[in-house]
Structure formats: structure tokens, C-alpha cells
Amino acid sequence: MTGTATEPEHGSSPDDTAEVAFTVNGEAVRLVLDTRESLLDVLRERLGLTGAKKGCDHGQCGACTVHADGRRVLACLTLAVQARGRAVATVEGLAAPDGAPHPLQQAFIDHDALQCGYCTPGQIMSALACVAEGHAGDDEEIREYLSGNLCRCGAYPGIVAAVRDYARTTEG
């Protein structure tokens, strides 16, 4: 990942660009962006952070979920210029410095909460927010607050179990 300014995408005029500074997973980033670029495209194409997936590109599947200032956002619907001055967190920033998985990532492994894995980064980022927001009281509440994240493989029972397990370890 680079922390320096880069040229905007080809085909844009200087009037369509803006210099934007923000942090991604704790690292300062300063880029010259086309004002029409989505946060998802900037994360994936400019910064090489491919954890957030481009599923539907219409905000309907949740595969692109990241956090901005601690709140979950759909990166495909968020303009990158809206990240100015904000702290963006992606699934790549969750692991411990030694590479150990975040406790929620471990819960997903323990509960076999994935199959193909395509939706998993978005599921994990949404689940973190679900628990932090206090919406993991029971399985029904977990399902409701993760309902914007789709899984084509049907790993929902494992996902709910992983979130429930993680929420129990973070209580109190």
C-alpha cells in the first residue's frame, strides 16, 4: 500500500480530481482521486487491499463492507472522497501483528462459517459492527443485523454461531 499521491485514473479531467488524505488500517494514505471513484475501487485497485469484494456493486450483497470511523459502510456505494479525514478499516487490518487471526476470524474458522469465502470479509466486518453496536443478544437479532450480507453457499448457521460465540467472549 502506498502513502503517497498518485495520478488520477485515465480519462478524467483535472476538474474531476481531489487530493484526499485518510487512514486505512492505521496507515496514512494521501491520494489524488477521480471524484467519482468508489471507496471499494480505491481500496482494491489503488491500495491493493482486496479483502472487500466487488459482489453486486449496487449495495445489495454486503461483500464490500468496511468500517469508516468505526461504522460499517458499503464501500461500493461510498465515494472515496467521503473518506477524507476518516479512519477506514478493512478485514486485512484485523489480524494481530504476529499474523494470528482476530478472535472473530477464529470463531468463523471454529464454526465452519464459510465455504467459498467470497462473502466472508464482508460478513466479518458486519459481524464486528453488529457485536460492537450491541445487536448480538440472540440468534434472531444476529440474523436481522447481518441480513444485508448475503452468502450464496448458505453458511448462515455457522456464521450465526460464530458471531454468537464471539459476542459471548466480548461481553462484560
As a three-state string, the secondary structure of the chain is CCCCCCCCCCCCCHHHEEEEEEEECCEEEEEEEECCCEHHHHHHHHCCCCCCCCCCCCCCCCCCEEEECCEEEECCCCEHHHHCCCEEECHHHCCCCCCCCCHHHHHHHHCCCCCCCCCHHHHHHHHHHHHHCCCCCCHHHHHHHCCCCCCCCCCHHHHHHHHHHHHHHHCC
Is residue 59 in some structural domain? Answer: yes
pLDDT at 13 over 60: no
Mean of pLDDT values over 83-110: 97
pLDDT at 2 over 60: no
pLDDT at 156 over 80: yes
What's the chain's average pLDDT?
93
The last residue of one of the domains, among 93, 122, 141, is 93
Is residue 4 in some structural domain? Answer: no
Beta strands 17-24 and 87-89 are parallel
pLDDT at 21 over 80: yes
The last residue of one of the domains, among 43, 64, 93, is 93
Both 118 and 56 in a single domain?
Answer: no
- Write down the pLDDT at residue 15: 77
pLDDT at 20 over 70: yes
Mean of pLDDT values over 71-84: 98
Is residue 27 in some structural domain? Answer: yes
Q: Which domain holds residue 56?
A: 14-93
CATH code assigned at 21: 3.10.20.30
For the entire predicted model, the pTM comes to: 0.90
Number of domains composing the chain: 2
Mean of pLDDT values over 121-148: 97
Is residue 147 in some structural domain? Answer: yes
Both 84 and 149 in a single domain?
Answer: no
